[in-house]
Structure 1
Amino acid sequence: MDAFFAAVEQASKPSLRGKPVVVGGLGPRGVVSTASYEARVHGVHSAMAMAHARRLAPNAAYLTPRFDIYRQVSDIVMGLLREASPLIEPLSVDEAFIDLEAGDLAGDPRAAARGLRADIKAATGLTASVGLAGSKLLAKIASEKAKPDGLVVVEPGTEQALLDPMPVRTLPGVGPATAEHLRKAGILTVAEITGAGEAELISLLGKAHGAGLHAMAAGVDNRPVVADRDVKSISVEDTFDSDLTDRAHVRHEIDRLAERCVQRLRGAGRSGRTVVVKVRRFDFSTLTRSETLRAPTDDPSVVRETARRLAESVDTTGGVRLLGVGVAGLADFTQEDLFAQAEGERALHGEVDDDAPPPLPSSPPPAPERANRWLPGYDVTHEKYGAGWVQGSGVGRVTVRFEVPSDVVPGRVRTFLVDDPALTRSDPLPLAAMSAMGVGRSTGGGQPSPGSSPKSLEDAGSGPDRGTSIP
């Protein structure tokens, strides 16, 4: 999907169509999750510090992610892919590999790819870019070349011509550290990796990494498309605007994260045996602690108390910038912890164990309470004006633009006191209201519009006949 989170926001907010939109953490330590193509013209990109993005594009709309609506759209897209083939391997909410041969679509793969893009546009109003190739490695690379709203086909026999001029960072597994090792050895392109030979790569990077990288540089990738990859863990984490120095606040955040983690665990119909806590301290040192339980559980009290104990074992006196809680060792069932259940029943009836340690002191919520903040992008409803979304808030006031996805023109803006009883948070509007739009958006900066099928992208390819080059 093209600039997925930002594209969903543009489709659901008429006033943002064709304008720069940046989605991510909005605090001082926030990071860009997705930037629209209009924002990318100014140099904004994913994983960039939000503070830097604001300097590059001060007039962009900066929004808090709305994961519920993104998952709704993702479910629609993945459903369309599964109708085409039983072999679908999702990589994230907005990307997947699909094996066309398994769906009897290998006879005319270009037509299948074009049909999928058209179906996605019709169902969601959003655009997708497709890379079509004989391996997952080349399909991934081709899909990146196809963006935005394009189709690139890697013809058999043209794989090396496509790969050779690309920088080494193009290949999976080549991060900044590996790229620096290669640079020092004078290796900057994929062609120079193959030219160096496997033995040289092994001496530079080790046997497994070196041999694997040399194979990928030669276009060798025999990995199959694997449907329904098993999730090994479920976790949530938060980075804080300012370091947490009070242990009561650390405990409060651990409790909150544990609750969110269990909600995701139950939503996936899973349970787990191992509770994991992640702590990033003021000096950027990151520590993890884990504890394996007697049996799988999805009990929020068990996960919460275990996470508390693990967090207490970490020295946080200097301050904490990030906390995370996760559950690993997943299972599809829950074995009831009879001891914990008995303790819960005793507590319910007021029975107290005189030898039990005193309860931990209650944790005061941080101020202001996160759940009550009117963050930009939140969906709201007003008793008089109807549905809208938060544009911004401050000094005791919140500004709301009242519009819905089906509106053709931007909605009106009004400002209220933050405690106005007529204004409440609401769920995103149903996807049908968005998909009915089928809105084409300008990408800015002279790039092709995601609402069209530009010939330059449809005809792009790696072969000499300019044929075409998919996950």
Structure 2
Amino acid sequence: MTSQRKIIHIDMDCFFAAVEMRDNPALANIPLAIGGSRSSRGVIATCNYPARAFGVRSAMPTAQALKLCPQLHLMAGSMDKYKMVSRQIRAIFQRYSDVIEPLSLDEAFIDVSQSSHFGGSATRIAEDIRRVILAETGLTASAGVAPNKFLAKIASDENKPDGLFVITPDQVAAFVKKLPLAKIPGVGSKTAERLARLGLNHCQDIVSCDLAILVKHFGSMADTLLKRSQGIDDRPVRTERQAKSVGVENTLAEDISNYQDCVQALQLLWPKLQQRLGQQGDKGLQKIGVKLKFSDFRQTTVECQAQTVSLEQFVPLLHQAWQRRQQQGVRLVGLHLGFSSPNPGQLCLPFEVAGSR
């Protein structure tokens, strides 16, 4: 019989902004956002909690953020500094387990199933990781502890910021029963709206729903929805050495039939892609690509070789993919990067998000 996994998900609190507030305490109590620009069509990479009180969110267009919060303090940020702090935090994780799966610069899964620290108590390990991160970096982290990755990720968001939430194996059924479907990783606001239109709002609604209806409306995603709604997730924690690519995508609430709307959808994905790049270390960038899925569920991908990456490089790939739509609308936009084996060169990641020309 396979032993029960013990998974911790660590998520740093407003990481980029927190680093800047640590280094300049004068920023701590004012609305602060990293990324974007007042003079370009940028998007927000992250923001602190005073900014979030005004409704500012990551991946939000800068112009919209400034309408919500005119006094918002914008900073270009320093990716090199954030990477350095991220490596420091990663080194802390390694004191407790070798089985670590970074998701981005500011979050990671840690499998402590075989850890002997604190008598094998995942809860006490998570508490100590948070304590050490604060002591050594001056930053706070939120943690979720659960029997699998899906639940651990949700748990880390339950008591944010600077909190800990534990879901024990015997609590799983009761926890997921009332869990909003919008909280399932991968179910964005657009998908949540489509689910709600079908009367599906909580995990218990999915479990009692006809599978044929789920497949009709959500295709291959139906199986994942059904499993997650029962608290099932068999995915192991994978170390960063196994990652060959990173990508982000968004299924839109309504199909896009205007090219400029598609460009804007691409721009909104860029900061999300940036946040997933920190785990790649010295892996060399090999290719970049754009994926589109059309109204008739056909999908196409356009790729090119690349050793560096910026937002502008994706635009001509998007244009090529757009030409293949055959008068169909676009229902999904995605970006991805492919990596070669490790090499001495460092991946060049310009942090400032520029608008497409």
TM over 0.5: yes
1:171 is matched with 184
1:270 is matched with 284
Write the deviation string for residues 151-181 of structure 1: whole angstroms up to 9, x where unpaired. Answer: 1111222123222333211112323443333
2:62 is matched with 50
Conserved? CA contact 2:301–2:321, under 8 Å: no
Conserved? CA contact 1:233–1:330, under 8 Å: no
What is the correspondence of 1:390-405 to structure 2 with a 5 Å cutoff? none
Q: Are residues 52 and 290 of structure 1, via their aligned partners in 2, closer, same or farther at CA, if it must alter by over 3 Å?
A: closer
Give the secondary-structure state (helix, strand or coil) at the position aligned to 2:86. Answer: helix
CA distance in 1, matches of 2:113, 2:301: 43
User: May I ask how many residue pairs the two structures share in their alignment?
Assistant: 279
CA distance in 2, matches of 1:327, 1:117: 31
Candidates 216, 226, 233, aligned match of 2:228: 216
1:364 is matched with none
Unaligned runs of 5+ in 2: 1-11, 248-277, 293-299, 323-334, 345-349, 353-357
Write the deviation string for residues 242-299 of structure 1: whole angstroms up to 9, x where unpaired. Answer: xxxxxxxxxxxxxxxxxxxxxx9x9715364xx447699xxxxxx974457xxxx96x
Letter of the structure 1 residue corresponding to residue 32 of structure 2: V
CA distance in 2, matches of 1:33, 1:229: 26
Deviation at 1:38, TM superposition (A): 1.2
CA distance in 1, matches of 2:236, 2:226: 19
Unaligned runs of 5+ in 1: 236-263, 281-286, 317-324, 335-370, 376-471
1:110 is matched with 123
1:69 is matched with 81
What is the correspondence of 1:204-243 to structure 2 with a 5 Å cutoff? 204-206=217-219, 208-233=220-245
What is the correspondence of 1:34-433 to structure 2 with a 5 Å cutoff? 34-105=46-117, 107-206=120-219, 208-233=220-245, 268-270=282-284, 272=286, 275-276=287-288, 289-291=302-304, 328=338, 330-332=340-342
Deviation at 1:90, TM superposition (A): 0.4
CA distance in 2, matches of 1:195, 1:19: 46
Greater RCO (Cα-Cα under 8 Å, separation 6 or more): 1
CA distance in 1, matches of 2:207, 2:179: 12
- Give the % identical residues: 36
CA distance in 2, matches of 1:47, 1:119: 30
CA distance in 1, matches of 2:15, 2:148: 24
Conserved? CA contact 2:145–2:152, under 8 Å: yes
Give the secondary-structure state (helix, strand or coil) at the position aligned to 1:98. Answer: strand
Deviation at 1:31, TM superposition (A): 1.1
Q: Are residues 191 and 315 of structure 1, via their aligned partners in 2, closer, same or farther at CA, if it must alter by over 3 Å?
A: closer
Deviation at 1:56, TM superposition (A): 1.7
Q: Which has the larger radius of gyration?
A: 1
CA distance in 1, matches of 2:25, 2:227: 47
CA distance in 1, matches of 2:71, 2:96: 41
TM-score by length of 2: 0.68
1:254 is matched with none
CA distance in 1, matches of 2:336, 2:215: 35
Conserved? CA contact 2:112–2:120, under 8 Å: no
Conserved? CA contact 1:4–1:94, under 8 Å: yes
Which deviates the most, 16-25 or 74-83?
16-25
Conserved? CA contact 1:197–1:214, under 8 Å: no
CA distance in 1, matches of 2:171, 2:51: 34
Give the secondary-structure state (helix, strand or coil) at the position aligned to 2:64. Answer: helix
CA distance in 2, matches of 1:117, 1:182: 36
CA distance in 2, matches of 1:278, 1:167: 31
Letter of the structure 2 residue corresponding to residue 111 of structure 1: R
Q: Are residues 229 and 204 of structure 1, via their aligned partners in 2, closer, same or farther at CA, if it must alter by over 3 Å?
A: farther
Q: Are residues 201 and 117 of structure 1, via their aligned partners in 2, closer, same or farther at CA, if it must alter by over 3 Å?
A: same
CA distance in 1, matches of 2:130, 2:177: 29
Letter of the structure 2 residue corresponding to residue 134 of structure 1: P
Conserved? CA contact 1:276–1:288, under 8 Å: no
